[in-house]
A and B are shown apart, each in its own frame.
Chain A
């Protein structure tokens, strides 16, 4: 059996997941990053995207996939923590809502100057909406 590391996924309103993980793949600002147990101490900023993890739940291996918004990932020898503003499981995603959000954010982005905080904010919203759609296979 592969080794595991205690993994926690936390949002401001709840602890979304807590358990042991064999592998966690998150979208950092530099691209996708896979974290295995015994990773060197590591701290990264995350972009909105789909976070995937191989976790053990009740002794059985399981695939965990979530659409996450901006956040941070912290890997320590003894644990792995991901902080995000929002995290949604497959069944929690509102597909039509995400489509509307995507359209609105794209519309707003057009009127914002590139490189402005407003532009960045809309880009994050677009990425998050896209992540939600990708998670649900749209």
Chain B
């Protein structure tokens, strides 16, 4: 049985841990609000951009852009893996990395692009130590997104990768995040012209300046860039949601452990007192 002193020290350290997890929980709660606002503010842009792209693809007969054509045959698949920079968020990062590994198993040859420190480390563990990587929590996410988009576009056009796929986190709700694997390039027109097919007659009459092909060649890279940007925002928000949950559980667990240990410690202390009393009584009896 551990001594009272040992127990007291363990309790003290547990209480410290609980305080840290509680603080991290509060920080995550504050940050998730900010991340959510950023995500909401990006919403109108996202909607308009995909609407324009839909119009364009519907309005232009022949689309001649590398993104619309299948990539080079036999080239490795490009995979952008997006994770958080930090851990302490339950299985958040490992879920994303597992999704990437799953993809890798299906596609014999995969080249990674890592966004987030955890992604970079995972990619290194998979034996691709020289792949380009970026930090997720950089201040200017638009710049990071542009750099990533530029890099994958260059590689795709040069034929060193045959497709571009993105693994990022999806924030289903505050309690649930999951990894999402999306194919970005080559762009499938069917995917874009999804839900609302309103006013189809109007689309055909749209004028383009200077030409539909030119506008499309500007829009497609922008679309890729923005998809990456909004994925970064969502991964960020999902990370804080996961961290909030993980830290909440950790605080609860620490509380439970503290309660249990307090009882054990009280028992041990009482036992020690009883033992001492018995010794005194026994000693007094022996003398009389």
Contacts and interface: CB of A to CB of B under 8 A. Distances in A.
Given A45-B214, A74-B48, 20 more contacts: A12-B142, A12-B229, A13-B41, A13-B42, A15-B41, A15-B44, A29-B214, A33-B209, A42-B206, A42-B208, A43-B52, A43-B206, A45-B219, A72-B215, A72-B219, A72-B222, A74-B55, A81-B48, A117-B150, A117-B154
B45 A43 contact: no
Contacts of B42: 12-13
B152 to A, nearest CB: 13
Nearest to A83: B48
Looking at chain B's contact residues, is the secondary structure mostly helix, strand, loop, or mixed? helix
Given A12-B226, A72-B215, A72-B219, A42 B207 contact: yes
Nearest to B208: A43
A50 B272 CA distance: 83
A11 interface: yes
Contacts of A56: none
Contact of B207 (A10, A12, A15, A41): A41
A74 B219 CA distance: 12
B49 interface: yes
B205 interface: yes
Which range holds the interface residue count of chain A?
Answer: 20 to 34
A40 B202 CA distance: 10
Interface in A53-103: 70, 72, 74, 76-77, 81, 83, 85
A80 to B, nearest CB: 11
B41 A29 contact: no
Top-10 shortest CB links A-B: A44-B209, A41-B206, A45-B218, A42-B207, A10-B45, A12-B45, A45-B215, A10-B44, A14-B41, A30-B209
A44 B41 contact: no
A130 interface: no
A76 B219 CA distance: 18
B169 interface: no
A11 B141 CA distance: 13
B148 to A, nearest CB: 14
B38 interface: yes
Interface in A3-30: 8, 10-15, 28-30
A70 B222 CA distance: 10
B205 A40 contact: yes
Contacts of A30: 209-210
Contacts of B123: none
Contact of B52 (A13, A28, A29, A83): A83
B224 interface: no
Contacts of B44: 8, 10, 15
B38 A13 contact: yes
B16 to A, nearest CB: 39
A32 B123 CA distance: 47
A12 B44 CA distance: 8
Nearest to A77: B202
Given A42-B209, A43-B56, A72 B218 contact: yes
A41 B45 contact: no
25 contacts: A8-B44, A11-B45, A12-B142, A14-B41, A29-B210, A30-B210, A33-B209, A40-B205, A41-B202, A41-B206, A42-B206, A42-B207, A43-B207, A43-B208, A43-B212, A45-B214, A45-B215, A45-B218, A45-B219, A72-B218, A77-B202, A83-B48, A83-B49, A85-B142, A117-B150
B45 to A, nearest CB: 5
Nearest to B55: A43
Nearest to A42: B207
